[in-house]
A and B are shown apart, each in its own frame.
Chain A
């Protein structure tokens, strides 16, 4: 309690300097002015919900910085806000998505899917008229089609809004002027658009649908693909709002909306369109992870390899880094600083470049490793580095060793230098051999101080996307009989990444999110409990 009060007093009070106060007012003013501008834009766009949210956040910020006291909030606010927006929200969003079927096939809401399905399936009305069209603009600004029917020689005019500009025949009586072959050249009340103006029509002439009657769905419409010719079309599917079903006009089959699958599906199990909508699917993504036999086989292999990969990455880099740190923590070596600087070059070289460079070097035919290094050592056998499971996994680990040992070298050197000299000197005087000093004094001390970093390194490598994906892409893919695309060097994160963004049946964000939630829980609890076992966490939250 005493400590608490002391801290409170230590940082509160004092006379605020004029400069500080002015700076505060200036910065807050800038923020408020910026937000004010954005708010005006938002109101202009009628995005009221977001505007109110933004306004409230800004009020909160002003309150935090203008009131007396509440010091922690003043220091934490910027960081916490960014963290919430881009980290906490991302975690929550992924959690939510994991209970839906969100993916390439279930991309949007019901209304969006409905629209997309209708728009995607349009068929010409059989035997109906075709037109050569001119794109014109009416006095009220709406864009209309002026169409000449090939067969009858009659001219028609109409726009997207049937109430204002219904599709109707136009004659000389309406002010229509045609040339000798019957093509319209001018019409009173409208202006003909030039090619450039046609291109600029928003959202585009080719997406326009000009109804042939008051009901776009049933009456059909005029549409053009090139702004020169147009024909009478109709939607292949008609939506029945009352029954929430689609009717396919070709065979009059009815496809009710299946709210659990997110598809229009008829009673024979036929799906109307690949396009579906997002629905909540409960635990089914999680059930799939644990229960789907197609997934289970490859998945257990991948999980095992992920642990091995993370463990050996940490182990190999730590052993090499530690050994080098012990050997080169020796002031008698001349040029020590230069050596150290060169040792950490792999850490300084951007990692994504390293991965590409190693990928090139591992090339079986002409790669540097097979040709020059192994060739130099007299080996005629070319190792198929990235083409078979064993060598590919070795290649990933070798690359990660090269990428990671400088980091371990750095932190081990730092930790070694933090061990008081008198401790090792005393042991030396007592006659302990250098090896014993290392084993009995330095190593235990090092492990205590480095344990949290080693745990963090394990967690990092567990999800080390770049080290695997940029080098092998998760491949080689040796087993074409698998229903899921699992490669020989795939760790969990690369495997899931492929599910999320390039699955063979299109992206499946729902399943991928369920995976990421599980990975998060797994690696989070591993880290939490290992932190707890080491002193790390205690020290951390002291």
Chain B
């Protein structure tokens, strides 16, 4: 091969080999990685199209039943569409509010100087390290007290759970966004100030607009986080109609009377589809969103 290469340095074949050595093999590797990254997803998609009950041996895409989907969408015991609406409402509202509030706090940390700023930032990060799942008792306690005082935001309400989610997501969100705000040049603020802008105008009309793509990504990440929560949602809600997708699908697997593996697969496919599409289409921004805090990209 090397002799070939040497004899016809500019021949098509030699170019192809060089291309393969430099770039082509990466395509092969990409195929391997794609297989690795997607086989569980392919597996669950294929499972959702079988007519089996529990976990059985089967050939990938050997069957094409849509019954699991129609069953799940029409089942009175498992109101899947209701779960989806609940989850999207919860996750959507949480995402929007948490991004807004985190951005407010991040602005203060990035642009303003005040007493307690450094300890504040540090506390923000450290408090995230508390194993929040063990704070469940306390969270439950707060919510059940609220049920007595202000039932509208107590146990069994979306508003109550949203408040809990907000409290949990603020630290991390503020920290990431703080990194981003630092990348927006301060000169912009100064220029705006000379034009007579107030701090709210600087904040809303300059900084927020500049980091808008990041805000979208933060919202998406928060959305996915809330979407995937099982534990909190399971202690706050107790009727099937109130469940989120995570709690509901768990019910599907836990049900001792039937083995619902394929039906669960159908639910998994349907509930993840919107997120996957959103995620892939926002991919370019997500890279920035994750690294912004630490890497000046």
Contact = CB atoms under 8 A, between A and B. Distances in A.
B198 A15 contact: yes
B200 interface: yes
Interface in A49-79: 50, 71-72, 75-76, 78-79
B287 A413 contact: yes
Contact of B283 (A85, A340, A346): A340
Contacts of A12: 199
Contact of B136 (A14, A20, A501): A501
Contacts of A72: 108, 112, 114, 117
A218 interface: no
Interface in B86-128: 101-102, 104-105, 107-108, 111-114, 117-118, 121-122, 124-127
B6 interface: no
Given A17-B201, A82-B166, A356 B189 contact: no
B10 interface: no
B287 A414 contact: yes
Contacts of A83: 124, 127, 167, 170-171
B118 A541 contact: yes
A520 B131 contact: yes
Given A80-B105, A406-B37, A500-B136, A363 B55 contact: yes
A339 B30 contact: yes
Interface string A308-339: 00000000000000001001101011010101
Given A17-B201, A82-B167, A516-B134, A91 B26 contact: no
Contacts of B243: none
Nearest to A49: B149
Interface residues of B, number: 104
Contact of A463 (B131, B166, B190, B198): B131
Contact of A86 (B112, B149, B167, B197): B167
B40 A354 contact: yes
Contacts of B283: 337, 340-341, 344
A85 B142 contact: yes
Interface stretch (B65-73, B74-82, B208-216, B270-278): B270-278
Contacts of A410: 286-287, 290-291
Contact of B131 (A330, A406, A516): A516
Interface string A1-37: 0011001101111111100100000000000000000
A330 B141 contact: no
Contacts of B189: 10-11
Interface stretch (A129-137, A233-241, A246-254, A522-530): A522-530
B202 interface: yes
Interface in B190-205: 190, 193, 196-203
Interface in A345-360: 345-354, 356-358, 360
Contacts of B139: 86, 90
A342 interface: yes
A42 interface: yes
A450 B131 CA distance: 23
Given A349-B276, A353-B268, A367 B134 contact: no
B272 A350 contact: yes
Given A327-B26, A333-B27, A372-B60, A75 B37 contact: no
B296 A418 contact: yes
Given A7-B112, A41-B150, A493 B38 contact: no
B133 A344 contact: no
A351 B228 contact: yes
Interface string B135-167: 111110110000011100000000000011011
A513 interface: yes
B291 A350 contact: no
A410 B137 CA distance: 36
Contacts of A371: 57
B200 to A, nearest CB: 5
Nearest to A3: B113
A93 interface: yes
Given A371-B57, A418-B291, A88 B134 contact: no
Given A20-B201, A357-B43, 9 more contacts: A4-B113, A10-B190, A75-B112, A88-B127, A330-B26, A352-B230, A366-B57, A496-B134, A541-B118
21 contacts: A7-B112, A82-B167, A86-B142, A86-B167, A87-B170, A330-B23, A343-B33, A345-B38, A346-B37, A350-B272, A356-B268, A357-B44, A411-B290, A450-B294, A452-B294, A453-B293, A463-B131, A465-B131, A500-B136, A527-B125, A540-B121
